[in-house]
Structure 1
Amino acid sequence: MNGNIIVGQSGGPTAAINSSLAGVYRTAKDRGARKVFGMLHGIQGLLQERYIDLSDYIKNDLDTELLKRTPAAFLGSCRFKLPEIHEDREVYEKIFGILDKLDIEAFIYIGGNDSMDTIKKLSDYAIVTGHPTRFIGCPKTIDNDLALTDHTPGYGSAAKYIGTSIKEIIRDSFCLEYEKGVVTIVEIMGRNAGWLTGSASLSRGEDCCGPDLIYLPELPFDLKKFGEKVKNLLSSKSSVVIAVSEGLRLSDGRYVCELGQSLDFVDAFGHKQLSGTANYLASYVAGEIGCKTRSIELSTLQRSGSHLASRVDILEAYQVGGAAVKAADEGDSGKMVVLNRISDDPYQCGTKVKDVHKIANDEKLVPRKWMNEEGDYVAEEFINYVRPLIQGDVSPIMVDGIPRHLFRPV
């Protein structure tokens, strides 16, 4: 590798995204890259010529380990949709002019579906213009909805956090008794894919019965049947805990959270900001049954809980970062690194590269056969799939009783 590399982060952060950044940096330096630049706030920041030299922040092995344990996006993120090439060629001319000025040999973008759309468009422009820069996608999303990869870095740690939190919530819910019982509804991220919500099932074990109901967004949600099931559960137990996806929809296509409020904010990719599903359902249950209810929204906690990160997840995130650099160095472009599960017992997983055109703007959903017949819980196949991804711990580097992170002034 003779030139420079530039790397960016895009979309929602995870507890493992910076481990991929560390993998990109270390592998690039090991392969002879002169400089590794970091885009500040992704492609949007690059258009404003905002970038840093990562060697100013990663000076030794301790800094690398701190970065791997630092949540959120160290470089800052964005949700910026590149126009089609024929719609605004000037945007591409500006980006490639900046890449030329920095002598960029490889462009690595760490992100999810929308980020792979960026890699697809940039690599297409490079082909059309004969530009030598190579473009590689590095997978990241707690939603676990990228196509062609067994799973995505970030998902394992989020699943571990959710399984742990649900178990603690269940334990807490049994502390007090109420005459008509208590229903706790936990809202978990997931617009169209229920991988995160399904991970609530990980709380089930010898010392915990797990949530009573789990509702994924892949299936239409029936409000009346939901109320009847909750009522039946309360006839035999005093506490009911339910996990629901933020993206639950009725059979007519409306989001459940829209029943309680209007969804006004829409991002650059046309995604509505979802919130309030658990709150609405808790109000519905309270009104229909008259019992005490609680709504809990895990929100950003499930993606930022690096103190509870999965060791498998952190190691694989670092691995795909390095694999992205290796792919670019060996001449690949317009590709994304994917994780390829080789074995379940013992768990083994390797990397490959796949055409980003077959990944961008696609979504991998939970298979119907991985849910029970009633559609209110996941099947054992789901649990067997996710359990290897949450194994092991990554001890934070503690200072004065609090985890230390790698710091970059904003």
Structure 2
Amino acid sequence: MKQVMGNVIVGQSGGPTAVINSSLAGVFKTAKDRGAKKVYGMLHGIQGLLEERVVDLSEHIRSDLDIDLLKRTPSSFLGSCRYKLPPIKGNTEVYDKIFEILEKLEVEYFFYIGGNDSMDTIMKLSDYAILTSSKIRFMGVPKTIDNDLPITDHTPGFGSAAKYIASITKEIIRDGLVYDQQNVTLVEIMGRNAGWLTGAAALAKGEDCEGPDMLFLPEITFDVDEFMHKVAELHKTKKSVVVAISEGVKVADGRYVCELTDNVDFVDAFGHRQLTGTSRFLAQKISKEVGCKTRAIEFNSLQRCASHIVGRVDITEAYQVGGAAVKAAFEGETGKMVILKRVSDDPYLCVTDIYDVHKVANIEKKVPREWINESGDYVTEDFINYVRPLIQAELTPMMVDGLPRHLRLQDVMLRK
């Protein structure tokens, strides 16, 4: 006989990934299988919860087909937010309101799918539950294409983004050889402080492709003059030069390269500046000083929403961490985040575990210096060996009228 559990609520926060909804599917399906009375979804994360914007997911995910569609749907099915909870001390009003809403919904289990900032939310809510003797259990479900959460071997979402980046970089390299004309292409890739995504461009290298000529990660201070010299030298011997560069590379004085030309005014609730324009700035400088055709390509949000090229390993692990979070919470855990532990590289095998969210929240995992070459313009084989298993296999989209089919909430449900 199925054990009847209390109500569950789940939300999504921060930048989405191509597989974030697979984690949502894992939470929903596992909670229902374990006897949850209701599984609620927060519309636009904790910010939406404060406005009592909540849906009963059973009314929107009605079948196994819906589960399969949800897994293949990019972006955040429930909507997202970038809302920073204040410190608990002296700011209990917002926490009192959150717990009042959760108690009204008779929620016993709270799951939040997100990255560093989302784990900050889980940490604060679980701490407040202890202070107020609340029995609600709080669990973090990891996701981020940036792969910058500590402790876990990697984060769901990174593998598919890496697969997209390597694939498109390979195609860009091929395209650069079309005309009998020298050219330089700069590919700007997401990564504020960690260069995992930019490093993944090196996976384009293989028997049929020489890979990008240089990679620049934010872990290494960027020297504009040295960069220009390297490009000029490559330009002397190559028809086409392709360089991948992180949006977050900084010069010696701490400024982002994109700030050398444009004002970056937008700052989110967590103090993150919007970064864009690094490749455009450098492309214009190369065109002027080297005197050749240049092209700046920003992958931008494409690298986090390309569900048509999602990795099977990634989407499977995303589902597993969602299910593992539910299992842990139902067994009494709280204030934890699910992590992935790599057992072996060949054959590749990862298992799930849980870890204290206090040792995860607000901590960034960067690419180890020893995984970047001595000159700071490429990654090593150790980096390649770490990432390659994460991009393996594919999950075919469900195609309707020649296009991928996605699952979506009705528009009326997204309004307050």
- Equivalent residue for 2:243? 242
- Equivalent residue for 2:212? 211
Match of 1:87 among 83, 87, 90: 90
- Equivalent residue for 1:14? 17
Q: Secondary structure at the match of 1:202?
A: helix
Q: CA deviation at 1:177?
A: 2.1
Structure 1 runs of 4+ aligned residues shifted over 2 Å read none
Q: CA deviation at 1:392?
A: 0.5
Match of 2:145 among 138, 142, 147: 142
Cα distance in 2, alignment partners of residues 384 and 39 from structure 1? 38
Cα distance in 2, alignment partners of residues 2 and 62 from structure 1? 25
- Equivalent residue for 1:319? 320
List aligned pairs for 1:262-277, cutoff 5 A: 262-277=263-278
Identity of aligned residues (%): 66
Structure 1 residue 49 and structure 2 residue 42: aligned? no
Cα distance in 2, alignment partners of residues 23 and 311 from structure 1? 15
Cα distance in 2, alignment partners of residues 407 and 286 from structure 1? 44
Cα distance in 1, alignment partners of residues 253 and 379 from structure 2? 23
Q: Deviations over 1:18-48 (max 9, x none)?
A: 0000000000001110110000000000000
Structure 1 residue 290 and structure 2 residue 291: aligned? yes
Q: Secondary structure at the match of 1:338?
A: strand
- Equivalent residue for 2:103? 100
Q: CA deviation at 1:287?
A: 1.4
Structure 1 residue 257 and structure 2 residue 258: aligned? yes
Q: Deviations over 1:276-335 (max 9, x none)?
A: 000001011111111110000000000000000000000000000000001100111100
| Stretches of structure 2 lacking an aligned partner (at least 5 in a row) | 412-416
Q: CA deviation at 1:407?
A: 1.7
What letter corresponds to residue 83 of structure 2 in structure 1? F
Cα distance in 2, alignment partners of residues 265 and 405 from structure 1? 31
List aligned pairs for 1:171-186, cutoff 5 A: 171-178=174-181, 181-186=182-187
Q: CA deviation at 1:87?
A: 3.3
TM-score normalised over the length of structure 1: 0.99
Q: CA deviation at 1:140?
A: 0.3
Q: Secondary structure at the match of 1:381?
A: helix
What letter corresponds to residue 179 of structure 2 in structure 1? L
Q: Deviations over 1:311-365 (max 9, x none)?
A: 0000000000000001100111100000000000000000010000000000000
Q: Please, what is the CA RMSD of the aligned residues? A: 0.6
What letter corresponds to residue 70 of structure 1 in structure 2? T
Structure 1 residue 363 and structure 2 residue 370: aligned? no
Cα distance in 1, alignment partners of residues 327 and 106 from structure 2? 18
Structure 1 residue 29 and structure 2 residue 22: aligned? no
- Equivalent residue for 2:76? 73
Cα distance in 2, alignment partners of residues 405 and 20 from structure 1? 15
TM-score normalised over the length of structure 2: 0.98
Q: CA deviation at 1:57?
A: 1.0
- Equivalent residue for 2:414? none
Range with bigger deviation, 149-158 or 400-409: 400-409
Q: Secondary structure at the match of 1:235?
A: helix
Cα distance in 1, alignment partners of residues 409 and 178 from structure 2? 43
- Equivalent residue for 2:135? 132
Cα distance in 1, alignment partners of residues 60 and 202 from structure 2? 39
Cα distance in 1, alignment partners of residues 326 and 346 from structure 2? 29
Cα distance in 2, alignment partners of residues 2 and 372 from structure 1? 52
Cα distance in 2, alignment partners of residues 379 and 409 from structure 1? 47
List aligned pairs for 1:322-361, cutoff 5 A: 322-361=323-362
